[in-house]
């Protein structure tokens, strides 16, 4: 008997319906003191209630595997994206049940409302679907799927626990990589609301000779082949391949600023993964360097099948640090690691012109040997503040200061361009699109 109560009693919960029935019985006993004609009705009501309670306990507990619940997730979650989660409930009782399902999601989400109610017919299977959007990389621990089952009588609920602890890693964003593959293939970004890339010239790598069709550049006509074939023939060219594309990610304190739940470092990491994927689809070599006061991780540029996985495994563990980045160390590392000229995309952030000028000598030295693109971020809150109408003197002051900072950001772009360094000033939510757009434009212009 003791073992029975240890095994089952902790999973038995009284329902509101039972408390209502008990309250009704109490009222009957109170009324009996004033109305003798009630007779034995209160005792009969209590006896009936106890009988129904025993029947409810019996039919719920006679089947040790009355229901089954399973959680279906991907092997890893994508940071900053909506990740689908599915919970499947199977009724193995011979009668319909009312179920309350509580999925214990990781504490990082700070959500306690994943509570679902449903009715299942005998042998019926139902699925619950919802999405989770993580905003930090790392390990996320899912708890139990707790299900509370009630019979048609509804006097008690029996609790079942399924799955237990399940740890899932959250990796840099990978769910939306498919759309960036389309961008790499089509070369045009109209599908994403981005202007078309105007292709200047053509690559110097010869591909083949083909028949002329309307729209081909007449400057590519091969007159010797035309004379032999008796019809217009044109040369076709391919983009140059196997060029080094390195993403350099600043991990210093300037990348800790949050935007829509994600830090600037996480936006840079997600953009680096997408750019590496597109670069390898264009048959270039993708590499990675992380930087703070010292050099962090280095993934040499390559385009082997496992390269993207290697980059994601390195970025999965990266965190921001509190010291300022050491660009002198970056320069010496680039000179050592990147032997051939390539495209270096440096993700960082500058909040003032003086901060840029401190680092500018090192950026200029790097730009002598490689095509350098410096990517930094617009402060969208300041932009909104500058466009809102001022209502008082304090509002005018805030608006003026916001406009000053925005103008200073534009001066930074001009300062970098003046020294032959490309610059991308972008809001965080458009970072990935803008970086890939710049890479494809540089490929089309043969500047790498």
- pLDDT per residue over 238-258, tens digit each? 656 778 999 999 999 989 888
Q: What residues contact 261, with CB distance under 8 A and at least 6 apart?
A: 80, 133, 135
- Angular region, 336: left φ>0, alpha ψ -120 to 50, beta rest: alpha
User: What does the alpha-carbon distance between residue 358 and residue 239 come to, in Å, rounded to a whole number?
Assistant: 37
For the segment 120-145, the average pLDDT, to the nearest whole number, is 92
Task: Grade residue 191 by pLDDT with cuts at 50, 70 and 90.
Answer: very low
185 vs 332, residue with greater confidence: 332
Name the one residue in this structure whose structure tokens are 């900072």: 405
For the segment 44-68, the average pLDDT, to the nearest whole number, is 86
Task: Grade residue 183 by pLDDT with cuts at 50, 70 and 90.
Answer: low
Residue 267 has a CB neighbour count (10 Å cut-off) of 27
User: What does the alpha-carbon distance between residue 422 and residue 342 come to, in Å, rounded to a whole number?
Assistant: 14
What pLDDT was estimated at residue 1?
Answer: 42
For the segment 184-192, the average pLDDT, to the nearest whole number, is 50
State phi, psi for 193 to the nearest 5 degrees.
Answer: 75, 15
Percentage above 70 pLDDT, the chain: 88
Q: Whose CA is closest to 137, among 166, 110, 114, 171?
A: 171
The alpha helices in 106-221, defined as continuous H runs, are: 177-186
Q: Is residue 79 scored above 80 in pLDDT?
A: yes
For the segment 396-401, the average pLDDT, to the nearest whole number, is 78
Question: 171 in helix, strand or coil?
Answer: strand
Q: Is residue 8 scored above 60 in pLDDT?
A: no
Contacts 24+ apart (CB under 8 A), 15-18: 15/150, 15/154, 15/155, 15/156, 15/157, 17/154, 17/155, 18/53, 18/155, 18/156
Q: What is the mean pLDDT of the chain?
A: 84
CA distances from 254 to 55, 168, 322, 323, 442 (A): 65, 29, 8, 9, 28
Which structure tokens are listed for 241? 């391949």
Name the one residue in this structure whose structure tokens are 């953009």: 271
User: What does the alpha-carbon distance between residue 430 and residue 194 come to, in Å, rounded to a whole number?
Assistant: 10
What pLDDT was estimated at residue 388?
Answer: 74
What pLDDT was estimated at residue 37?
Answer: 61
DSSP letter for 38, please. Answer: G
User: What does the alpha-carbon distance between residue 115 and residue 302 come to, in Å, rounded to a whole number?
Assistant: 47
Question: 114 in helix, strand or coil?
Answer: coil
For the segment 379-391, the average pLDDT, to the nearest whole number, is 74
What pLDDT was estimated at residue 360?
Answer: 93
Find the helix or strand (DSSP H, E) in which 166 lies: strand 166-171
Residue-wise pLDDT for 203-217, tens only, equals 556 667 888 887 777
Q: Say which range, 79-88, 104-113, 130-139, has the weakest mean pLDDT.
A: 104-113
What pLDDT was estimated at residue 391?
Answer: 76
Break the chain into its structural domains and give their ranges. Answer: 10-171, 177-198+240-444, 206-238
- Pair type for strands 422-426 and 371-377: parallel
Which structure tokens are listed for 48? 């009936």
The alpha helices in 230-319, defined as continuous H runs, are: 264-281, 307-315
Find the helix or strand (DSSP H, E) in which 141 lies: strand 138-142
User: What does the alpha-carbon distance between residue 150 and residue 82 come to, in Å, rounded to a whole number?
Assistant: 33
For the segment 151-176, the average pLDDT, to the nearest whole number, is 87
For the segment 394-405, the average pLDDT, to the nearest whole number, is 79
CATH of 177-198+240-444, one of 3.40.50.1370, 3.40.50.410, 3.30.43.10, 3.30.565.10: 3.40.50.410
CATH 3.40.1160.10 is held by the domain 10-171: no
Residues in the chain: 448
- Angular region, 261: left φ>0, alpha ψ -120 to 50, beta rest: left
User: What does the alpha-carbon distance between residue 284 and residue 15 come to, in Å, rounded to a whole number?
Assistant: 64
What pLDDT was estimated at residue 445?
Answer: 82
Residue 184 has a CB neighbour count (10 Å cut-off) of 18
Q: What residues contact 151, with CB distance under 8 A and at least 6 apart?
A: 56, 59, 60, 93, 95, 97
User: What does the alpha-carbon distance between residue 120 and residue 101 come to, in Å, rounded to a whole number?
Assistant: 12
Residues 54/48, Cβ–Cβ less than 8 Å: no
Q: Is residue 123 scored above 60 in pLDDT?
A: yes
What pLDDT was estimated at residue 7?
Answer: 52
User: What does the alpha-carbon distance between residue 233 and residue 223 come to, in Å, rounded to a whole number?
Assistant: 7
Q: Is residue 190 scored above 60 in pLDDT?
A: no
Q: Whose CA is closest to 176, among 192, 195, 194, 196?
A: 192
**Torsion on CA atoms 198, 200, 204, 207, rounded to nearest 10:** 40
Q: Say which range, 26-30, 133-137, 273-277, 333-337, has the weakest mean pLDDT.
A: 26-30
Which structure tokens are listed for 420? 């032959």
Classify residue 273 by burial, with Cβ atoms within 10 Å: 0-12, 13-18, 19+.
buried
Q: Is residue 193 scored above 50 in pLDDT?
A: no
User: What does the alpha-carbon distance between residue 15 and residue 290 come to, in Å, rounded to a whole number?
Assistant: 57
């Amino acid at each position: 008997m003791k073992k029975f109560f240890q095994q089952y009693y902790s999973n038995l919960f009284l329902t509101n319906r039972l408390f209502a029935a008990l309250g009704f019985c109490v009222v009957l006993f109170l009324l009996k003191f004033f109305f003798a004609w009630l007779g034995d009705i209160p005792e009969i009501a209590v006896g009936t209630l106890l009988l129904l309670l025993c029947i409810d306990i019996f039919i719920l507990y006679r089947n040790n595997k009355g229901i089954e619940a399973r959680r279906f997730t991907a092997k890893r979650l994508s940071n900053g994206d909506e990740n689908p989660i599915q919970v499947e409930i199977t009724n193995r009782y011979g009668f319909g049940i009312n179920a309350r399902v509580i999925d214990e999601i990781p504490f990082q989400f700070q959500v306690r409302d994943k509570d679902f109610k449903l009715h299942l017919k005998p042998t019926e299977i139902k699925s619950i679907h919802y999405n989770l959007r993580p905003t930090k990389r790392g390990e996320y621990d899912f708890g139990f799927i707790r299900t509370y089952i009630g019979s048609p009588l509804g006097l008690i609920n029996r609790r079942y626990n399924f799955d237990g602890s399940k740890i899932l890693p959250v990796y840099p964003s990978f769910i939306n990589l498919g759309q960036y593959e389309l961008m790499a293939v089509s070369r045009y970004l109209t599908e994403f609301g981005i202007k078309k890339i105007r292709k200047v010239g053509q690559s110097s790598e010869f591909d083949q000779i083909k028949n002329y069709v309307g729209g081909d550049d007449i400057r590519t006509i091969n007159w010797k082949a035309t004379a032999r074939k008796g019809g217009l023939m044109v040369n076709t060219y391919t983009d140059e391949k196997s060029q080094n594309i390195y993403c350099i990610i600043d991990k210093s304190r300037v990348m800790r600023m949050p935007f829509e739940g994600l830090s600037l470092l996480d936006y840079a990491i997600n953009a680096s993964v997408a750019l590496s994927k597109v670069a390898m689809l264009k048959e270039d070599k993708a590499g990675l360097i992380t930087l703070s006061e010292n050099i962090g991780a280095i993934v040499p540029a390559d385009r082997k099948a496992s390269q993207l996985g290697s980059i994601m495994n390195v970025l999965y563990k990266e965190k921001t640090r509190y010291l300022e980045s050491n660009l002198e160390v970056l320069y010496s590392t680039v000179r050592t690691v990147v032997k051939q000229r390539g495209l270096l995309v440096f993700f960082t952030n500058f909040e003032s012109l003086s901060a840029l000028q401190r680092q500018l000598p090192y950026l200029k030295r790097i730009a002598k040997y490689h095509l350098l693109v410096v990517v930094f971020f617009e402060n969208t809150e300041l932009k909104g503040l500058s466009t809102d109408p001022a209502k008082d003197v304090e509002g005018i002051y805030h608006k003026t200061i916001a406009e000053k900072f925005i103008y200073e950001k534009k001066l930074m772009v001009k300062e970098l361009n003046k020294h032959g360094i490309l610059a991308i000033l972008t809001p965080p939510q458009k970072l990935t699109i803008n970086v890939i757009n710049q890479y494809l434009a540089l490929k089309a212009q043969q500047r790498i």
